[in-house]
Amino acid sequence: MRSINRYIYGLIIAILLIVLIVFLANNPKSNNSSTPLVSSYSNQSSYVEVYLRGPITSNQDHNDISITVSADKVTMTDYVGYDGKVLDSRTYSNSSNSYLNFLKSLDVAGFVNSDKGSINSSSVGRCSFGEIYQFKIYKDDQKIQDLWTSDCDGVGGNFKGVASNVFTLFKLQVPDFNDLIQEVNLNTY
pLDDT tens profile 66-110: 999 999 999 999 999 999 999 999 999 999 999 999 999 999 999
Q: 155 or 10, which is more confident?
A: 155
- Please indicate, yes or no, whether residues 67 and 100 belong to a single structural domain of this protein: yes
CATH number of the domain enclosing 108:
3.30.1560
pLDDT category at 172 given cuts 50, 70, 90 is very high
Q: Is residue 69 part of a domain?
A: yes
The amino acid sitting at 146 is D
Q: 9 or 55, which is more confident?
A: 55
pTM attached to this predicted model: 0.77
- Please indicate, yes or no, whether residues 79 and 17 belong to a single structural domain of this protein: no
Domain containing residue 55? 38-181
- Please indicate, yes or no, whether residues 138 and 177 belong to a single structural domain of this protein: yes
CA gap 116, 50 in Å, rounded: 19
**SS3 call for 124:** coil
Number of independent structural domains in the chain: 2
**SS3 call for 9:** helix
Q: Which of 126, 135, 130 is nearest to 165 (CA)?
A: 135
Q: Is residue 187 part of a domain?
A: no
- Please indicate, yes or no, whether residues 57 and 129 belong to a single structural domain of this protein: yes
- Please indicate, yes or no, whether residues 50 and 76 belong to a single structural domain of this protein: yes
CA gap 1, 133 in Å, rounded: 62
DSSP 3-state helix, strand, coil percentages of the chain (rounded to 5)? 30, 30, 45
CA gap 137, 51 in Å, rounded: 11
- Please indicate, yes or no, whether residues 75 and 21 belong to a single structural domain of this protein: no
Question: 114-165 pLDDT, tens per residue?
Answer: 987 665 577 877 888 989 999 999 999 999 999 999 988 877 789 999 999 9
